Each structure stands twice: as structure tokens, then as C-alpha cells.
Amino acid sequence: MLMFKPLPSPALRALLAAGLLTGAALPAAAQTNNTNPILPVGANNSYTSQYGDPDMQYFGGNYRIYPSALAATPKQFFVFSSPDMMNFVASATPVFDLGPNCSWESANAQGTAPSLVLANGTYYLYFAADGKIGVATSSSPTGPFTDSGAPLLTTDPNAPVLGDPAVFVDPDGTPYLFYGGGGRLVVRQLATNMTSFVGNSQNITPSNYADAPSVVKRANTYYLTYGSGDRTLGTYNTQYATAPSVQGPWTFRHQLIYNNEHSGPGSGSMFKMPGCDEYYFTYQRFDNNVTNHRGVCLDHLTFEGDGTLQILAMTNYSVDARPLVTVCNEGTLLSGAVYRISSKAAPARRLEIENNSTADGARIQLANENGADTRQRWMVTQDVGGSYRLNHAGVANRVSLTGAAGALATQGTNAAVDAQRFVMEAVDGGFYKIRLRNTQQVLEAAGTTAGSNVRLAPENGTDAQRWKLDVQSVGIVSGGTYKITHKGTNQCMEVPLNLYDRGAQISQYFDNGNDAQRWIITLDAATNAYKLTHRGALDPTSNLPQCLEVPNNSNASPVRLQQYDDNGSPAQRWLITNTDLIYSKLIHYGTTNPQKVADVDYGSTNPGTYIQQRDDNPDGVDAQRWTFQLQYDARLTLPTKAAAALAAGLELYPNPAQRQLSVHYTPAQTGSFALEVLDVQGRRVAQLPGRPGTQGLTQQQTLDVSALAAGVYTVRLTGPATVATQKLVVVQ
């Protein structure tokens, strides 16, 4: 088992309680918490004539929501901006004003259904007004936008009602405009200038269509959401269809949002997080079933295991704060795990070192799958700044930028740091782009045949620059129970006689399966170091679990290790770093000149020999090398000591799980809580129905994971004022 520092588990992210925000209706108003509606409500807390038809984009370092113009100011489009999906603030002035800036609209026209895109270095705003569709342009996402001087569309025989334009740029670069109302939807290809068309429109109307189309592509499937029903009769809702191409055929799937205490959910748009397999839906609804109480809401879109969209429930809370980062939410990489890396352009080809060479500078290439050969296995280890090292599993070499410009080869551990660090960016379909740190160069397969070079090249989004990482074995899993075995003697780190005494010294002994030889390893987010908790010990006086500790946080050498009450001090924090494919060092956190590591006294093979800290030996003596073997534990409840240490949040036990998973959580607010398991593509593969939870009272649910394939998953807990996630490893 490889031991590395893993990705910190996502912390519990609290959302604010349900409620309606009071405030002025003027565009300068801002929301001050993450409730739904996400945009500020009207004057005197009235929703009358409030914003609708929202379109969300990410432009210029901010999320932007562009709604229709208000009835009170029917010609003025404003934009609401936020750096993190919280506290959307309106522009001080309109981004586009049909009154002075559009010569062709009538005096009583209202601007509706804006849809924006960035192309050719220009921002294009498509909108409906006066029964026509127009387009305006700007050099900035906040305007001012200038109308093209004439309507883009005044009539279309395939679309009796011209309205609700939605621009969509296919991943292949082809732009399209969807539009239509009154039960008819058409699509038409835009020219590269974005202000004229190529060819005629095509009728692609799906079942139950009324208006408000929005399109995204995920993997090889196109998704279309649209409004259905009648607003005036209270039946308006959102439905969706899928197709293999923009032109269809579009197959109706199911209703996406149902009425509850609110009604009329629709006129929405899907938003794909740039570079991530992560989606949101912003839409309007009628709060409390009052048809003039219109508000704009924002929620996640979640995909089921079969690729269908999960039904979205309207709530009075919105989404987590979400700054745009280079590493996507719900990242699936486990630091310290061994991966097989495959090219999307050639799925049967693996990343390997030519001839399994151990020499620095050996060429990296694509090759046919050869089973478990270490030449095709890579250790992915988190490093500074969220970047990663790619270590060849067969030798201690790393992927590095060496030789000719753009060439990839292996290099020893002393090469320049930035030449050996990569940012792993999750993209659609469970793939990654692997970018060299501090550059815009990404790993690219030069061909698809065996023996093709792997090189660095500018990002272009092609399959040759997309890689699938399949976990072959896992690294340290925070919260997992481990057996720690000494390399030199094959004996286990233990607390003699399974003592609970504070200050009991640590020794080695033959493996006997006892809790005296089992340690729960958890990541301390504050230090990014580990705490090793003795599984068998709970001090009866302090009622605290006992942790592996260096007495008095000593920097001396040698000093015998002991167990002591969990107190969060640096004396109880450790780094676990690999020395090769199997063995690791256990380093006392914070020790220097030189750093101190766990060491069996004189490398003795005698059972009961004490374990101490000693200066790190650069020659790698066996006395300082250990294996960390994750243990499956059939017990489905947390031991007393772990339960006592459980803080508010989400805990999984055991982790890895094999058959059943015990899930513990402490609600931040009383209400109903649901649990779901998502795979690496964000698809729901297992779930438990909602269950009541009481604020501050730890709850437990048991989830059957026996049907899940071995791999890495995300467990998500959702409830009032709570969205929490944790990584789960399943072993079968």
C-alpha cells in the first residue's frame, strides 16, 4: 500500500436557512445570503414584476446572471454578478437599454429572454423584443451593448412565435441559435460572425414544449430543458429531452421540476462550470403559488447513473459558495493512489515508460494494455498549491519536462519543481486534462498507435489531451483503520497489552489481529498532517482516545514514542511519505535539521522492541520503513472513542467499505436529510430516502454498497441549511 498525503476531505459547507430577503427593487440592490430566490426581491418585499428568464454565464472572473427587463423599466437589461455564487450584485446602470440603443423596437416593446456568449473576443447578447429576435455586442460582459442596427429575425415559417432565443456553441465550435414559443422550437446554425445564419431553421420540437429552451452537451449526449404547461393555469413546469445531435431526434425524458409550495418553475437555463463536469440550473418560479411573486432561483443539476437528470426539488436555500478554481468540485483523485492512465483518443492505450526503463530521461509513450506491469502504473501524489506529482510506480522517477521543447520523459527527484508538477483538471465524462504547473501546456498524445510520443502542447480541447485515470490501489483514506508493519522485521506497531494508559510506550510485535495493532488515521485540515489514533484505547479518566505522540513534542533523537490523550498538538501530527511503491516513512510533523522519523530501536527483530523517533537516515535503512495496510472492518458502528470525537459534519465508517457503510452526521438544523452516492462523473449510483434529523443530535444510517464497483465515490448529505460531502473508497 502506498502512503501519501491525500486531498483534504471537503469540509461541511453550511447554507443559510430558508427565508425571504427584504430589500429594495432597484437594480443596485444585492442579496446578502444564499437563499432562493437568489436575486433580490422587489420593493417592500414584493415580487411583483420581479426578474425572470435568467441566463447564467461565467465571464471576466465573475458569475453573471442576465434576467429579462422589469415591467417597470421594460427596455433595460441589468446584470447581476458574483465571484462565488453568493451575494449577486446588480450593475449600477443597464448593460443594454433598448430605448436609446435599439432603433427597430416599438414604443411599447419589452426586452426579454437574454442569452449571452463570448465569441471572437466579443460578447453577444441575444434577446427578444417586439415579436422579433435581436443581437447586441460589447467588448465587456457588463456592457454597454450596442444593437446590430436591425433585427436578427423578424419571421420564420418554422416558428410562428419568435421568442426565447438561446445561443449554444457545440464543443466542436459550431454555434447555434434555438428559439421559438407557442409550442414550437427550431434550431438554426449561426455563422462564425455570430450575427447571420448558415442554412435554414429546422423544427425540432420535443414533447410538451412551450418555450424557454436551454442546451448543453455532456459526454456524447445533448440535453435540452424547456418550459411546459400554462403559467396562467398554474401548470407551468420544466421538462427535458436528450438527443445524439443538435438536430435530434429529441427524446422526451421526464419532468425536471415539480410544483410544491411554489409553482411555475421554468424559463431557465443550464450552466456548465468551465472545464468541469458540474452543472447548475437557474430559473424563475412563483413563490407561494402567487403568480406575480416571481423570483430567480439557482440549484444544482445532478446526473443519475444512467445519464438521466435527477428531479430537482425547489427549496428556499440555494447552492454552496463556489469560487471558480482550476480543480473542480467533487474531485475524485486520491493522493497516494496508484492509477492507470489512458488516452481518451485511444482508450486501449496506456501511459507508460518505454521498456520500463529506470534511467533518467527515459521516453514516455502510449502502449497497449499489459496487465499489472508497473511500467503502466503511476502514483499520483498531491503537492504544493494543489498540484500533483506523477511518479512511475516501478521506480522512484517522476514525469518531467526534459530534453527538447515539449518533450516528456522521466527524471529523478532533484529536477526543477515546476517541471515535475501538474494540475489535474476534471472535465466532462470523467476525464482529466493534465496541465504543467504555471503554464498553459497540457499532456497530449502525439498519435493513437502503440509507441506514440506523449508530449506537452497548448490546450486545444481535443481527445488527444484528455486522460482517464482508473484507480488500481488506494492511498491513505482519512478515517480508515490501518495495520502499520515494520519493513525490517515484519512486525506491527502496537500498544503492548492493548493498554489504555496515558504515556504507554509503543513497541513492535507479531501480527495478531488485535486492536492493539490497529490505528485510525485521519487528516488534520489545519496542518495537512495526520493523526494516528490507537483503535483499542480510550482513557477512562479523560474519556479521550489515545494518539501516537512524541513526548513534549521533542526534537531530540532518539525519543521513544508513546500514546496520549488526543489534544491536537504538533506532538501528535505526522507526515506519511512514500519511499518506493510499497514502503513509507512516518515523519514527526515540524521536526527539522534533520527531520525525525519513526524507527525501530537499532532495527532489532526482537518482539517488544520499542519504537522511537530518530534522525532521518537518507540511506533509507529498513528500521525506518513501514507499510500501511488499510483494514476492512465488518463492525458497522463507530467505536466509542471515535463516536466521542465525532464533530458536527459527515463521517463514514468503515472507509474503505466492502458491503455496508455506516454514515454518521450531526444536523446543523432540524429537518429531513437525504444521502446519495455519486460516481466519478457525478452520477447518482446509490441513495437513501429522506429521514428526519434533529439539530445537534448525531444520526446514523446504513447504506448497502455491495453492488458498487471498486473505486472512488462521493457521499453527499443534503438537508436544511446543510450540504456535506466525503470521499468513499469501495473495495470488492
Number of alpha helices (DSSP H) and beta strands (DSSP E) in the chain: 2, 55
**How much is the pLDDT for 400?**
61
Lowest mean pLDDT among 364-373, 397-406, 425-434, 661-670: 397-406
pLDDT at 73: 85
**Cell 440550473, located at residue:** 281
Burial of 284 (0-12, 13-18, 19+ CB in 10 A): buried
pLDDT tens digits, 482-501: 899 998 888 999 999 888 88
What does each C-alpha distance from 401 to 288, 375, 391, 426, 615 come to in angstroms?
59, 18, 13, 22, 33
Query: What percentage of residues in the chain have a pLDDT greater than 90?
Result: 33
* Better-predicted residue by pLDDT, 440 or 705: 705
Return the H-helix or E-strand segment holding 640.
helix 640-645
pLDDT of residue 702: 81
Q: What is the mean pLDDT of residues 82-90?
A: 86
CA-nearest of 495, 607, 516, 615 to 561 is 495
Residue 444 · residue 456 · CB < 8 Å: yes
Q: What is the mean pLDDT of residues 499-517?
A: 89
Average pLDDT over residues 262-285: 87
- The CATH number of the structural domain formed by 337-473 is 2.80.10.50
pLDDT at 7: 23
- Asked if 564 contacts 572 with a C-beta cutoff of 8 angstroms, the reply is yes
Q: What pLDDT, on a 0 to 100 scale, did the predictor assign at position 486?
A: 93
Spacing of C-alpha 659 from chain mean position? 25
Query: What region, left, alpha or beta, does residue 322 occupy, with left being phi > 0 and alpha being psi -120 to 50 degrees?
Result: beta
Tell me the average pLDDT across 537-551.
Answer: 80
β-pairing, 562-565 with 545-549? Answer: antiparallel
Rank 32-46, 391-405, 554-568, 617-631 by mean pLDDT and report only the highest. Answer: 554-568
**pLDDT at residue 594 greater than cutoff 60:** yes
With bands split at pLDDT 50, 70 and 90, how would you rate the model's confidence at 189? very high
Q: What is the pLDDT of residue 395?
A: 60
How far apart CA 557 and CA 197 sit, in angstroms, is 76
CA distance linking residue 13 with residue 343, whole number of Å: 35
Question: In the structure, what pLDDT confidence band is assigned to residue 320 with cuts at 50, 70 and 90?
Answer: low
The answer to whether the CB of 339 falls within 8 A of the CB of 378 is yes
- Give the residue among 626, 587, 576, 578 at the shortest CA–CA distance from 396: 578
Decide if 337-473 and 480-630 have a common fold: yes
Of 648 and 126, the structure prediction assigns the larger pLDDT to: 126
Say how far apart CA 544 and CA 566 lie, in whole Å.
6
Q: Find out whether 95 and 142 touch, Cβ atoms under 8 Å.
A: yes
Burial class (CB in 10 A: 0-12, 13-18, 19+), 19: exposed
Tell me what pLDDT residue 407 has.
60
pLDDT band of residue 225 (cuts 50, 70, 90) is very high
* Across 537-560, average pLDDT: 85
pLDDT over 80 (residue 247): yes
Amino acid 638: pLDDT: 33
Q: What's the mean pLDDT in 635-651?
A: 40
Among 1.10.20.140, 3.40.50.300, 2.40.50.100, 2.60.40.1930, what is the CATH number of 646-730? 2.60.40.1930
φ/ψ of residue 43, rounded to 5: -60, 140
Cα 707 off chain centre by = 24
Please state the rounded mean pLDDT for residues 92-105. 91
**Tens-place pLDDT, residues 464-486:** 999 988 776 666 766 777 899 99
Assigned superfamily of 18-304: Glycosyl hydrolase domain; family 43 (2.115.10.20)
Residue 39 has pLDDT above 60, yes or no: yes
Residue keyed to cell 500501511: 628
pLDDT at 680: 60
* Residue 470 confidence (pLDDT): 75
Task: Report the candidate in 121, 122, 66, 130 with the shortest Cα–Cα distance to residue 102.
Answer: 130
* C-alpha 174 chain-centroid distance: 28
pLDDT band at residue 327 under the 50/70/90 scheme: very low
Q: Is the model more confident about 451 or about 732?
A: 451
How many Cβ atoms sit within 10 Å of the Cβ of residue 121?
A: 6
For residue 18, the model assigns a pLDDT of 21
In this structure, the number of other CB atoms found within 10 A of the CB of residue 221 comes to 14
Of residues 332 and 145, more confidence is placed in 145
pLDDT at 670 over 80: yes
Grid coordinates given for 118 = 463570448
- Higher local confidence (pLDDT), 363 or 169: 169
In angstroms, rounded to a whole number, what is the distance separating the alpha carbons of residues 474 and 418? 25
Task: Categorize the per-residue pLDDT at 79 as very low, low, confident or very high, splitting at 50, 70 and 90.
Answer: very high
For residue 690, the tally of other CB atoms under 10 A from its CB is: 14
Banded model confidence at residue 14, pLDDT cuts 50, 70, 90: very low
pLDDT bucket at 703, cuts 50 / 70 / 90 = confident
Taking the C-alpha atoms of residue 350 and residue 370, their distance in angstroms, rounded to an integer, is 9
The pLDDT of residue 629 is 78
Check whether 384 has a pLDDT greater than 60: no
d(CA 344, CA 350): 10
Confidence (pLDDT) at 493? 95
Does residue 668 register a pLDDT over 90? no
Tell me the average pLDDT across 41-61. 72
Does this model's pTM top 0.85? My answer is no
CATH of span 480-630: 2.80.10.50
**Of the ranges 267-276, 299-308, 345-354, 550-559, the best mean pLDDT one:** 550-559
- Amino acid identity for residue 274 in this structure: P
| Range name among 53-67, 269-283, 399-413, 593-607 with the lowest pLDDT average | 399-413
CB-CB contact of 611 with 506 (8 Å): yes
32-41, 507-516, 634-643: which is most confident: 507-516
Tell me: the pLDDT tens digits for 596-634? 999 998 888 999 999 999 998 866 688 899 988 776 543
pLDDT score at 175:
94
Band (pLDDT 50/70/90 cuts) for residue 30 is very low
> For residue 635, what is the DSSP state?
-
- Report whether pLDDT(370) > 70: yes
- Alpha carbon distance 683, 306 (integer Å): 8
Query: By CB neighbour count within 10 A (0-12 exposed, 13-18 middle, 19+ buried), where does 712 fall?
Result: buried
Average pLDDT, the chain: 79
Task: Burial-class residue 439 by CB neighbours within 10 Å (0-12, 13-18, 19+).
Answer: middle
Domain coordinates of the chain in residue numbers? 18-304, 337-473, 480-630, 646-730
Q: Alpha carbon of 68 to those of 110, 187, 210, 228: distances in Å?
A: 9, 22, 18, 19
Query: 535 or 642: which carries more pLDDT confidence?
Result: 535
pLDDT for 129 equals 94
pLDDT, residue 371, reads 65
Confidence label for 707 from pLDDT (cuts 50, 70 and 90): confident
Question: Bigger pLDDT: 39 or 403?
Answer: 39
Contacts of 399 (CB under 8 A, 6+ apart): 364, 378, 389, 390, 391, 392, 408, 410, 411, 420, 422
The per-residue pLDDT for 22 is: 21
Q: Is the pLDDT of residue 639 over 50?
A: no
Task: Round to whole Å and give the CA distance between 610 and 493.
Answer: 9
